Structure 1
Amino acid sequence: MKKKAFVEKTAYIIFLICAIVAIFAVCAITIYMFLKGTPALKEVGFFDLLFGTIWKPTASTPSFGIGFIILTSIVGTVAAILLGVPIGLLTAVFLSEMAGKRMAAVVGSAVELLAAIPSVLYGLMGMMILNPFMFKLEKTLYAGDDSHQYTGGANMLSAIIVLAVMILPTVISISTSSLKAVSNNLRAASLALGATKEQTIFKVVIPAAKSGILTGVVLGVGRALGEAMAINMVAGGAVNLPLPFNSVRTLTTQIVSEMGYASGTHRQVLFTVGLVLYIFIMIVNLVLLKARKTGAENGN
């Protein structure tokens, strides 16, 4: 009994230490980001910085407006989620509800391979395959329009497609696990009441797995917001309004592109960009917690 009590107490202490380290890490990151990101808001001005649209940090009269950069991140993430989540969810439904064991094993292995591919390879494939295709499409759509500035296919649309593909493994894996965790009794009851298999899937199984699916979606949002390397390679890198064929820059690529040589106010503003990105991630997680709580209450 004494040995058992010692083991339990030791395990409790280890788990407590791990929890404290995790909490400390979150608090440290939060405090650091606010300490480093807020000075630029005072120096440049809150509205000039967050809602300004001109980014010229090295000009004789510098301008640090990141409004277009914030808007690009929001639009790109939302568009990638709208494109990638339905594909990911339907793939998860196929794997968990319809595919045979061999087919599920093959598709599941492909999904795991997608998750293992480094971001830079997604960017490389986008540069070599997607960007040339987008350039041809751009030339076709804007033929005869001398005012249009061609980007060589490195544009907002390319970034959205790459992001949508990159979030697929996360959405598919977590959604598949959530769907498989739904009790077979629910399926049997629905079928016994006369529902078809498709009706059972979309009206019983998916709602029952909603909490897990939302988790996958939010993790996908996190990856979409936080991706830098691949987007830096396919989006063009210019600060523009986020239109489909415009060369654009997101919050993450802004930091990656300029932190290496930035100094003074320029460097402080880049920390503010990081703070904005961090706040976005916090908001997404709060929305998830609220959605899961609402779903649990409705389930009860």
Structure 2
Amino acid sequence: MSEIQHLQPSMSADFDSRNLDWYIDRIVQSLVFIAGISAIIFIIGIFVFITMEGFGFLLEDFTFREFFLSPFWEPSDEDAPEYGILALVAGTASVTGLAMVVAIPFSLGAAIFIGEFATGKLRESLKVLVELLAAIPSVVWGFIGLSIMNPLIIDLFDVPVGLNVLNAGIILGLMAAPIMTSIAEDALKAVPDRYREAAEALGATRWQVIFKTVLPAAKNGLLGAVLLGVGRGFGETMAVLMATGHAVNIPSSLFDPVRALTATIAAELGETAVGSPHYQALFTIGIFLFIITFLINLSADLIVRGIRKG
């Protein structure tokens, strides 16, 4: 009888401990679920907000032909305001395209070296360096374009102004390179080692293994890295605003100043009357940008998930 009385407190303590662990586990699961679903809620909330702000323009002043096919962006004209974003789209596309020309070779080269050649402390140091480059604020890159690249382009190419497509493309390419390098390295690491071993067993050299086996096997992941870089280029604001020259213009050369969609919103939103057609037109540009960047990032995410599952 005394032994039963002695065991009862111990059993009660174990039961209370299991109950406490169960409650803690449920609380942690709930917090993780809320944290995960909050990102989706925030994205939906942002889209609803910008849609509501631009809805009046879409209903009253929006015409597809003028908005997408006209190069004239003159919303402040009191007599005949024009809301054409063709020149803005051309400026954004030209800067982003040049940025990819700059970023893709650097990113793929860095990813190949880190993933296939570097080992030990060198590899870890390079990965940390890439992460540090990704952490540099965009306004700092903008200052580099404004104070360093601007006079350098003027001296090298004998042009009157160095704030142009070339300047912004180089800066944006350097900004996009770190994230592209990280995703590309993950894609290379996802290639099974047996592919490399089989190629080496057939007598392939190190470079042949990389170019004939590893890169083709990782092509989906590499494409995902490029698409993420494109999304970064389309969505960048401050660096592009500071390095492009901010002129509404369809570029005909690398030395033409341009204006990007994001830079237009950043520069003009604070100077427009809330609820005016100009204000609503800027939010309509935001809707267009949101849809484009969302589709680009979604495509990249699906591609990267596909290569990881494969």
Normalised-by-shorter TM-score class: 0.7 to 0.9
Q: Give the TM-score normalised by the residue count of structure 1.
A: 0.85
Structure 2, gaps ≥5 residues long: 1-17
Q: Does 1:42 align with 2:59?
A: yes
Question: Is the CA contact 1:48–1:64 (under 8 Å) kept in the aligned structure 2?
Answer: yes
Equivalent residue runs for 1:1-300 within 5 Å: 2=19, 5-44=22-61, 45-61=63-79, 62-139=81-158, 150=160, 152-243=161-252, 244-263=254-273, 264-289=276-301, 291-292=303-304
Q: What percentage of aligned pairs have identical amino acids?
A: 36
**2:270 match: secondary structure:** coil
CA RMSD of aligned residues (A): 2.5
> Which is greater in Rg?
2
Residues of 2 paired with 1:74 and 1:283: CA distance?
A: 16
Residues of 2 paired with 1:113 and 1:193: CA distance?
A: 40
Give 2:71's aligned amino acid: T
CA pair 104-293 structure 1, distance change in 2 beyond 3 A? closer
CA pair 210-8 structure 1, distance change in 2 beyond 3 A? farther
Give 1:196's aligned amino acid: T
Alignment length (residue pairs): 288
* Bigger Cα displacement from structure 2, 210-219 vs 17-26: 210-219
Residues of 1 paired with 2:307 and 2:135: CA distance?
A: 32
**1:260 match: secondary structure:** helix
Shift of 1:42: 3.2
1:136-171 deviations in Å (ceiling 9; x for gaps): 34436xxxxxxxxx4x11111111111101111111
1:205-244 deviations in Å (ceiling 9; x for gaps): 2334344434433332222111111111111001100331
Question: Is the CA contact 2:225–2:300 (under 8 Å) kept in the aligned structure 1?
Answer: no
Question: Is the CA contact 1:41–1:49 (under 8 Å) kept in the aligned structure 2?
Answer: no
Shift of 1:129: 2.0
Question: Is the CA contact 2:190–2:308 (under 8 Å) kept in the aligned structure 1?
Answer: no
Structure 1, gaps ≥5 residues long: 141-149
